[in-house]
Chain A
Amino acid sequence: EDKVVQSPLSLVVHEGDTVTLNCSYEVTNFRSLLWYKQEKKAPTFLFMLTSSGIEKKSGRLSSILDKKELFSILNITATQTGDSAVYLCAGHNSGTYKYIFGTGTRLKVLA
């Protein structure tokens, strides 16, 4: 059965800190891994990763995929209070066409 596990479950940091969120996956017919940010509403897309070792960056956020070790990390540098959210990752199974989500990491950034 496909599975995605995120760690830590929750995290509290101070503004300016750097955080690393982890996502490990066991997904057959793996095609891609997606990261989302969810505040109080619907998840919003951050990154889609399909190739190992290629870092994707957007401002202070970056992510990388390791297809050999079956994990991905999301880094946030110089955190701000606006980064407080639940961060979700999902693996895509191209055989079943399904996205399998982890339970998320809840990040709280204190001023």
Chain B
Amino acid sequence: EAGVAQSPRYKIIEKRQSVAFWCNPISGHATLYWYQQILGQGPKLLIQFQNNGVVDDSQLPKDRFSAERLKGVDSTLKIQPAKLEDSAVYLCASRSLGTGWVETQYFGPGTRLLVL
């Protein structure tokens, strides 16, 4: 079974520029998450989708971050304009909806963003 795919793996931009990240979850996984992992910290949830609907975006800085999951499969996360403090690894994860509610989240390799 293919894992969660993310691209690009690395991105360097200057502040005030825009950037977009792409995620393709595991086939059939209804729930998709975007996390931000700042160096030396644990991942922090930015947004959670179930199919193409937003379940939780309470920690998403909506003035500059946006995300969408058209057709309930792939997702994109955008930052516009970027700030220095956005330098981090952006992780995508997906999860199936089974009979139990503690199904495992599967993580992609992440996109490492450096804002100069």
Q: Are A and B physically bound partners?
A: no
